[in-house]
Amino acid sequence: MSRKILVLNGPNLNLLGTREPEIYGAETLDDVEAACAALAAELSLTLDFQQSNHEGQLVTWIQEARGTADAIVINPAAYTHTSVAILDALSVFDGPVIEVHISNIHRRESFRHHSYVSARADGVIAGCGTHGYLLALRQIAHMLG
Ligand code: CA2
């Protein structure tokens, strides 16, 4: 049976590949989704890849994942550093959660060093560029067995 993975992207990640390539690389979010879809097929995972600029939409998707998804990969973007609401929603999700950051948040401004989401995440990948999403999917496949 194919496992379903929800991949969530937070605010401004729709701009990926259009600005700040020195921080976030040249790939667009569509490129990232295509790479994730190719790897998911290889790993026999079904992918639901989403992006929103709205905190409430991300919370709703996480709530809906209860009973419909086996695991969540999330790059909460700026909400990483502010959102107790996303942490609370993830805390009532039962499956594995992997937090991804394209940049190494610990080598950047001090306000990026704290993540609310990390308190719930089973694993955190930061600073591996967009390849971090693929590492997260491999980790999910490993955890789901
Ligand atoms: O490194 C990451 O993946 C971040 O989650 C990205 C967030 C940032 O607020 C976090 O501290 C670290 C920002 C996403 C915005 O992405 C853009 C991409 C291209 C151009 C402008 C913004």
**79 Cβ inside 6 Å of ligand 1:** no
**Integer Cα distance of 123 and 89 in angstroms:** 17
pLDDT at 1 over 80: no
pLDDT digits (tens, 9 = 90+) for 11-56: 999 999 998 999 999 999 999 999 999 999 999 999 999 999 999 9
Alpha carbon distance 23, 86 (integer Å): 24
pLDDT digits (tens, 9 = 90+) for 47-60: 999 999 999 999 99
Annotated domain spans of the chain: 3-144
| pLDDT on residue 129 | 97
Mean pLDDT in the chain? Answer: 97
- Is residue 121 within 8 A of residue 98, CB to CB? The reply is yes
Q: How far is the CA of 47 from the centre of ligand 1 (A)?
A: 22
Active site residues: 24, 101
CATH of 3-144 among 3.10.105.10, 2.60.40.420, 3.40.50.9100, 3.40.309.10: 3.40.50.9100
Distance in Å, CA 137 to ligand 1 centroid = 20
